[in-house]
Structure 1
Amino acid sequence: MEEAPPNFGAELKDAFKPVNAWVQNGISWMADVEEFYRERAVIEKEYSSKLAQLAKRYFDKKSKKTASLSVGDTPLLTPGSLESASMTTWNSLITTTEIISQEHDKLANDMVAKCADTIKVLNSRYEAFRLQHEKFEKRLTTERDAQYSELKKTKASYDATCKELEGKRVKVDKAFDSGRSRAQKGYDHQMAEMHNIKNTYLITLNVTNAWKEKYYHSDIPDVLCSLQDLNETRVQAMNTVWRLSCTMESESRIRESDHMNALAAEIDRNLPHLDSLMFIAHNQPQNGWQEPPDFFFEPSPIWHDTDEIVVDEMAKVWLQNKIAKSQSGLYSLRQEVERRRKDVESMRAKREKARGSSEGAGGKTSIEEMDILRNLLSGQEELASVDSKRVALEVEVDTVRQACGDIDKNAHTHKFKSTSFKIPTSCDLCHDKIWGLSAKGMTCKDCGFTCHANCEMKVPANCPGPLDKTAKKALKDVRQHKGASTSTDKLSELPATNGSSHGLGLGRSNTVTSVSTASTSAPVAPARVSTPLGRSDTVKSTTTPISPVTASPKPPTRRVLAPPPAKYIAELPAEDMKADGPKAKMLYGYTANGNGEISVGEGKEVVVIEPDEGGWTKVRNGMVEGVVPTSYIEMLAPPKPSPAPVELEASSSRRTSMIKKGPVVPPRRGGKKLTHVQAIYSYKARTADEFDMAEGDRFVLIAEDDGNGWAEVEKNGVKKMVPANYVEKV
Structure 2
Amino acid sequence: MEEAPPNFGAELKDAFKPVNTWVASSISWMSDVEEFFRERSLIEKEYSSKLAQLAKRYFEKKAKKTASLSVGDTPLMTPGSLESASMTTWNSLITTTEIVSQEHDKLANDMVSKCADTLKVLSSRYDAFRIQHERFEKRLTSERDAQYSELRKSKAAYDSTCKELETKRVKVDKAFDHGRPKAQKSYDTQMVEMHNVKNTYLISLSVTNAWKEKYYHSDIPDVLVSLQDLNETRVQAMNTVWKLSSTMESDSLIRCSDHMKALAAEIDRNLPHLDSLMFIAHNQPQNGWQEPPDFFFEPSPIWHDTDEIVVDTMAKVWLQNKIAKSQTGLYSLRQEVEKRQKDVESMRMKREKARGSSEAAGGRTTTEEMDILRNLLSGQEELASVDSKRVALEVEVDTVRQACGDIDKNAHTHKFKATSFKLPTSCDLCKDRIWGLSSKGMTCKDCGFNCHVNCEMKVAANCPGPLDKTAKKALKDVRKSSAAGMSIDRLSELPSANGSSHGLGLNRSNTVTSVSTISTTTANTSTASAATPTLVSPLERAGTVKAATNNPAPTPVATSSPKPPTRRVLAPPPTKYIAELPAGDVKPSGPKAKMLYGYTATNDGEISVGEGKEIVVVEPDVGGWTKVRNGMAEGLVPSAYIEMSSGSASTSTPVELDSRRISVISGEKKKGPVVAPKRGAKKLVHVQAVYDYKARTGDEFDMAEGDKFVLIADDDGNGWAEVEKNGVKKMVPANYIERV
What TM-score does the superposition give when structure 1 sets the normalisation length?
0.70
Q: Which residue of 2 aligns with 1:330?
A: 330
**Cα shift at 1:483:** 2.7
Contact 2:466–2:500 (CA under 8 A) maintained in structure 1: no
Map residues 72-221 of structure 1 onto 2, 5 A cutoff: 87-221=87-221
Q: Which residue of 1 aligns with 2:299?
A: 299
Q: Distance in 1 between matches of 2:668 and 2:473?
A: 33
Give the secondary structure class of the aligned counterpart of 1:451.
Answer: strand
Give the secondary structure class of the aligned counterpart of 1:442.
Answer: strand
Aligned counterpart in structure 1 of residue 618 of structure 2, from 614, 633, 637: 637
**Cα shift at 1:456:** 0.8
Q: Which residue of 2 aligns with 1:418?
A: 418
Contact 1:462–1:521 (CA under 8 A) maintained in structure 2: no
Q: Which residue of 1 aligns with 2:495?
A: 525
Q: Distance in 1 between matches of 2:667 and 2:582?
A: 22
Query: Which range is displaced more, 204-213 or 50-59?
Result: 50-59
> Residues 703 and 160 (structure 1 numbering): CA distance in 2 closer, same or farther, change over 3 Å?
closer
> Residues 253 and 562 (structure 1 numbering): CA distance in 2 closer, same or farther, change over 3 Å?
closer
Contact 1:354–1:369 (CA under 8 A) maintained in structure 2: yes
Q: Distance in 1 between matches of 2:251 and 2:200?
A: 73
Per-residue CA distance 1:209-250 (angstroms, 9 max, x = gap): 001111111111111111211221122112111111111111
Q: Does 1:16 align with 2:28?
A: no
**Cα shift at 1:485:** 2.7
Q: Which residue of 2 aligns with 1:502?
A: none
Q: Distance in 2 between matches of 1:91 and 1:603?
A: 127
Map residues 277-288 of structure 1 onto 2, 5 A cutoff: 277-288=277-288
> Residues 602 and 137 (structure 1 numbering): CA distance in 2 closer, same or farther, change over 3 Å?
closer
Q: Distance in 2 between matches of 1:161 and 1:116?
A: 66
Contact 1:320–1:408 (CA under 8 A) maintained in structure 2: yes
Q: Which residue of 1 aligns with 2:274?
A: 274
**Cα shift at 1:66:** 5.5
Contact 1:412–1:521 (CA under 8 A) maintained in structure 2: no
Q: Name stretches of at least 5 consecutive residues in structure 2 with no aligned partner.
A: 514-521, 529-569, 576-580, 610-614, 626-634, 638-663, 674-740
Counterpart residue identity of residue 637, structure 1? V
Map residues 615-654 of structure 1 onto 2, 5 A cutoff: 620=594, 624-625=596-597, 632-633=608-609, 637-639=618-620
Q: Distance in 2 between matches of 1:627 and 1:455?
A: 32
Counterpart residue identity of residue 403, structure 2? A
Aligned counterpart in structure 2 of residue 704 of structure 1, from 669, 681, 688: 669
Q: Distance in 2 between matches of 1:395 and 1:270?
A: 47
> Residues 188 and 38 (structure 1 numbering): CA distance in 2 closer, same or farther, change over 3 Å?
same
**Cα shift at 1:107:** 1.0
**Cα shift at 1:124:** 1.7
Q: Distance in 1 between matches of 2:359 and 2:490?
A: 64
Contact 1:447–1:463 (CA under 8 A) maintained in structure 2: yes
Per-residue CA distance 1:309-345 (angstroms, 9 max, x = gap): 1111111111111111111111111111111111111
Q: Distance in 2 between matches of 1:301 and 1:619?
A: 55
Q: Does 1:252 align with 2:252?
A: yes
Q: Distance in 2 between matches of 1:461 and 1:619?
A: 37
Contact 2:492–2:501 (CA under 8 A) maintained in structure 1: no
Q: Which residue of 1 aligns with 2:564?
A: none
> Residues 304 and 620 (structure 1 numbering): CA distance in 2 closer, same or farther, change over 3 Å?
farther
**Cα shift at 1:73:** 8.1
Q: Which residue of 2 aligns with 1:366?
A: 366
Q: Distance in 2 between matches of 1:625 and 1:455?
A: 31
Counterpart residue identity of residue 572, structure 2? G
**Cα shift at 1:265:** 1.3
Q: Which residue of 1 aligns with 2:632?
A: none
Q: Which residue of 1 aligns with 2:572?
A: 601
> Residues 473 and 205 (structure 1 numbering): CA distance in 2 closer, same or farther, change over 3 Å?
same
Q: Distance in 1 between matches of 2:51 and 2:428?
A: 101
Q: Distance in 2 between matches of 1:134 and 1:614?
A: 91
Q: Distance in 2 between matches of 1:133 and 1:239?
A: 24
Contact 1:418–1:441 (CA under 8 A) maintained in structure 2: yes
Give the secondary structure class of the aligned counterpart of 1:418.
Answer: strand
Q: Distance in 2 between matches of 1:296 and 1:570?
A: 52
Between the aligned residues of both structures, percent identity stands at: 76
Q: Does 1:612 align with 2:583?
A: yes
Contact 2:484–2:509 (CA under 8 A) maintained in structure 1: no
Q: Does 1:51 align with 2:21?
A: no
**Cα shift at 1:113:** 1.5
Give the secondary structure class of the aligned counterpart of 1:124.
Answer: helix
Contact 2:598–2:672 (CA under 8 A) maintained in structure 1: no
Counterpart residue identity of residue 109, structure 2? N
Give the secondary structure class of the aligned counterpart of 1:454.
Answer: coil
**Cα shift at 1:19:** 1.7
Contact 2:348–2:376 (CA under 8 A) maintained in structure 1: yes
Q: Distance in 1 between matches of 2:148 and 2:106?
A: 61
Contact 1:421–1:436 (CA under 8 A) maintained in structure 2: yes
Q: Which residue of 1 aligns with 2:456?
A: 456
Counterpart residue identity of residue 59, structure 1? F
Contact 1:620–1:626 (CA under 8 A) maintained in structure 2: no
> Residues 445 and 148 (structure 1 numbering): CA distance in 2 closer, same or farther, change over 3 Å?
same
Map residues 315-326 of structure 1 onto 2, 5 A cutoff: 315-326=315-326
Per-residue CA distance 1:448-490 (angstroms, 9 max, x = gap): 1111111111111111111111110110000110134369xxx
Per-residue CA distance 1:620-658 (angstroms, 9 max, x = gap): 55xx45698997249652238659xxxx9xxxxxxxxxx
Contact 1:44–1:108 (CA under 8 A) maintained in structure 2: yes
Give the secondary structure class of the aligned counterpart of 2:427.
Answer: coil
> Residues 107 and 223 (structure 1 numbering): CA distance in 2 closer, same or farther, change over 3 Å?
same
Per-residue CA distance 1:235-292 (angstroms, 9 max, x = gap): 2112111111111111112122122212211221111112211221222112111111
Map residues 522-671 of structure 1 onto 2, 5 A cutoff: 523-526=493-496, 547-548=497-498, 560=499, 563=502, 601=572, 612=583, 620=594, 624-625=596-597, 632-633=608-609, 637-639=618-620
Contact 2:202–2:309 (CA under 8 A) maintained in structure 1: yes
Contact 2:483–2:508 (CA under 8 A) maintained in structure 1: no
Equivalent pairs counted in the alignment come to 566
**Cα shift at 1:304:** 1.0
Q: Does 1:441 align with 2:420?
A: no
Q: Distance in 2 between matches of 1:131 and 1:157?
A: 38
Q: Distance in 2 between matches of 1:603 and 1:42?
A: 103
Counterpart residue identity of residue 157, structure 1? A
Q: Name stretches of at least 5 consecutive residues in structure 1 with no aligned partner.
A: 488-518, 527-546, 549-559, 577-585, 592-598, 605-609, 649-659, 663-698, 709-730
**Cα shift at 1:126:** 1.7
Counterpart residue identity of residue 360, structure 1? A
Q: Distance in 1 between matches of 2:350 and 2:304?
A: 57
**Cα shift at 1:97:** 1.3
> Residues 290 and 56 (structure 1 numbering): CA distance in 2 closer, same or farther, change over 3 Å?
same
Q: Distance in 2 between matches of 1:631 and 1:276?
A: 87
Q: Which residue of 2 aligns with 1:242?
A: 242
Contact 2:317–2:458 (CA under 8 A) maintained in structure 1: yes
Q: Distance in 2 between matches of 1:636 and 1:131?
A: 88
**Cα shift at 1:574:** 6.8
Per-residue CA distance 1:12-64 (angstroms, 9 max, x = gap): 11112222222222222222222222221111111111111122223334445
**Cα shift at 1:368:** 2.4
Q: Distance in 1 between matches of 2:188 and 2:53?
A: 103
Q: Distance in 2 between matches of 1:703 and 1:524?
A: 11
Q: Distance in 1 between matches of 2:179 and 2:126?
A: 73
> Residues 192 and 56 (structure 1 numbering): CA distance in 2 closer, same or farther, change over 3 Å?
same
Contact 1:34–1:120 (CA under 8 A) maintained in structure 2: yes
Q: Distance in 2 between matches of 1:463 and 1:453?
A: 17
**Cα shift at 1:157:** 0.4
Q: Which residue of 2 aligns with 1:399?
A: 399
Q: Distance in 1 between matches of 2:101 and 2:474?
A: 104
